[in-house]
Amino acid sequence: MKRFAALFNAIDQSTKTTVKVAALTDYFENAPEADRIWTIAIFSGRRPKRTVTTTRLREWAAERASIPLWLFEEAYPIVGDLAETIALALPAAETETDHGLSHWIDVLRGLAAMDEDARKTVVLEAWNSLDATQRFLFNKLITGGFRIGVSQKLMTRALARATGRDEAEMAHRLMGDWDPATVTWHDLIEAEDAAANASRPYPFYLAYALEGEAADLGDPAAWQAEWKWDGIRGQLILREGAHYVWSRGEELMTDRFPEFTRARDFIPDGTVLDGELLAWGDGAPQGFNALQKRIGRKTVPKKLLQEAPVILYAYDLLEWQGQDLRGEPMQARRAKLEALCADLPEDAPVKLSPTVPFDDWDALAGTRSTARTAHAEGLMLKRQDSPYLTGRKKGDWWKWKLDPLTIDAVMIYAQSGHGRRANLFTDFTFAVWNGNDLVPFTKAYSGLTDAEFRKITAWVKKNTLQRFGPVRSVTPHHVFEIAFEGIQASPRHKSGVALRFPRMARWRQDKPVQEANSLDDLNQMLDTYG
């Protein structure tokens, strides 16, 4: 654990990419293989399952620290992180161990088979043998909330340097359904047949947002335009007589979308399609609201399958007849994709996502303005000669999204943030007018600068009306412009609406509270864009 703690400190204490990559590279070159595997797993979201509730951890920590539980609970929102609060509250360790990361992972995994008293004993013994940083990391692992300032891209780069292998190859090897408890370093990183895993997806190619003018991209004939669909990015894999559906977040979703079982009837083995998972109805893609009924369901009732069938709107062909096509120009991949989809029956669960024809950028801008009526978020622009790369790269693929919808709302509740913002109020609830009443309709916690958060925090402390645990009711005074990507009806909300990706666009200090928008304004948006 000491080596992993040293890695954490090196990463946590620097904002420089070069420093983080160097620390990771050294770790992957010198740490025990089992520790390397678990480090890769942790940094790519494959954390051990939580085996102890946070309620019990708080109780045990307060008891071990010989402080009343209420005092611990008061300290928790101030610190803003449970793992750190426990590490700070506990007395110094009485013993010292030299166990590695994989040992402590095994300890945590073993808690699942124990009763509560045995779990408590094991956790207390661990706390009593780890220093402050190691305890903090142990607590992060046991709560299942391990996040650190390392992207998978940086980790992949470090692995490539440590092993002398290609970065894109490393990214591909880390994809898929591998288990850190059973896989070996050799099988995951070194074995020459690692890419033969039938279920393994390819790393997704991601686009940057187009912030300048589309005309700056040059000759429009060199580009292909497509709708940017409002669904779930996914890959459909057909290999060795089976099929797999992966989300961009590397979640295996095959069982959630049984429609794709039929894909094997129409699409041959050795095929990998990239596209958008969308609800389909009336011969067209439906909005995200329709798809949301299916998200999170591991079993889908027959009625819902009929009400919200899901298809893959395919826009790229990554593998054909077992051959990796990612190095071919997009124009060539598209031609093969069109030929494949031309032979599919109308009721197939895979359909070809159409391109958007255009001759000049001004005409395309006009088409883009109609995106919401097509249940799209905007346009994708892809260079015709572009290969399919790994991760987010600038130059060949751009997303040209619509400007967000906006509404002016009144802040009525405030809650403190977490981590470095634990002492600031950063999470707010907003309301709009319904006659003479303010009706809450959304929450937002991003969009302001640190200076603005400090200023609003000082105001909240002076204008609190009531406290509800960590939440404060405040005087209705400040108006904020709330930006969002979409709106939908929601019987679960008092306002009757729910927003997609709400955030604070700006603090309208120039606008009196009486001039905030109304529930009628929201309902009008719902009628237009919902």
What CATH number is given to the structural domain containing 428? 2.40.50.140
Determine phi and psi for 244, rounding to 5 degrees: -140, 145
Q: Over 70: is that where the pLDDT of 420 sits? A: no
Give the total number of structural domains in the chain.
3
Determine phi and psi for 455, rounding to 5 degrees: -65, -45
List pLDDT tens digits, range 219-264: 999 999 999 998 999 999 999 899 999 988 878 888 889 999 999 9
Least confident of 28-37, 215-224, 295-304, 475-484: 295-304
Same domain, 246 and 386: yes
Find where tokens 């008891």 sit. 63
pLDDT at 140: 87
Asked whether residue 192 is domain-assigned, the answer is no
pLDDT at 194: 47
First and final CA of the chain: distance in angstroms?
51
The residue segments making up the domain with residue 464 are 405-529
Q: What is the average per-residue pLDDT within 320-334?
A: 96
Length of the chain, in residues: 530
Same domain, 370 and 451: no
Same domain, 17 and 82: yes
pLDDT at 298: 67
Find where tokens 């008061």 sit. 74
Same domain, 390 and 458: no
Give the residue with greater pLDDT, 198 vs 454: 454
Same domain, 348 and 427: no
Same domain, 19 and 122: yes
For residue 435, CA distances in Å to 75, 406, 476, 492, 528 come to 41, 20, 15, 21, 22
Same domain, 372 and 520: no
Any bridge partners for residue 355, and if so which?
226
Same domain, 317 and 255: yes
Last residue of a domain, one of 401, 435, 455: 401
Q: Over 80: is that where the pLDDT of 149 sits? A: no
Same domain, 241 and 382: yes
Asked whether residue 195 is domain-assigned, the answer is no
Q: Over 90: is that where the pLDDT of 285 sits? A: no
User: CA 79 to CA 523: how far, in whole Å?
Assistant: 40
Q: Over 50: is that where the pLDDT of 481 sits? A: yes
Task: Give the CATH number of the domain where residue 291 resides.
Answer: 3.30.470.30
List the one residue out of 32, 40, 313 whose CA is nearest residue 159. Answer: 40
Asked whether residue 52 is domain-assigned, the answer is yes
For 458, other C-beta atoms within 10 Å of its C-beta total: 12
Determine phi and psi for 232, rounding to 5 degrees: -115, 120
List the one residue out of 211, 338, 344 whose CA is nearest residue 268. Answer: 344
pLDDT at 125: 93
Q: Over 90: is that where the pLDDT of 513 sits? A: yes
Same domain, 123 and 255: no
Same domain, 215 and 134: no
Asked whether residue 27 is domain-assigned, the answer is yes
Asked whether residue 490 is domain-assigned, the answer is yes
For residue 84, CA distances in Å to 87, 505, 521 come to 5, 32, 44
List pLDDT tens digits, range 157-184: 899 899 988 887 888 888 877 888 888 8
Task: Give the CATH number of the domain where residue 56 resides.
Answer: 1.10.3260.10
Q: Where are the alpha helices (DSSP H) in 93-184?
A: 101-110, 116-127, 132-143, 152-163, 167-173
Could you tell me if 40 and 173 are in contact, meaning their C-beta atoms sit under 8 angstroms apart? no
Q: What is the average per-residue pLDDT within 30-56?
A: 87
Asked whether residue 162 is domain-assigned, the answer is no
pLDDT at 320: 96
Categorize the per-residue pLDDT at 365 as very low, low, confident or very high, splitting at 50, 70 and 90: very high
Structure tokens at 287: 């909005």
Cβ-Cβ contacts under 8 Å for 134 (sequence gap 6 or more): 1, 2, 5
pLDDT at 419: 61
Asked whether residue 184 is domain-assigned, the answer is no
Same domain, 11 and 107: yes
Asked whether residue 292 is domain-assigned, the answer is yes
Find where tokens 């645990």 sit. 469
Last residue of a domain, one of 112, 128, 143: 143
- What 8-state DSSP symbol labels residue 421? G
Q: Over 80: is that where the pLDDT of 418 sits? A: no
pLDDT at 530: 66
User: CA 91 to CA 440: how far, in whole Å?
Assistant: 44
Last residue of a domain, one of 121, 143, 165: 143
Cβ-Cβ contacts under 8 Å for 6 (sequence gap 6 or more): none
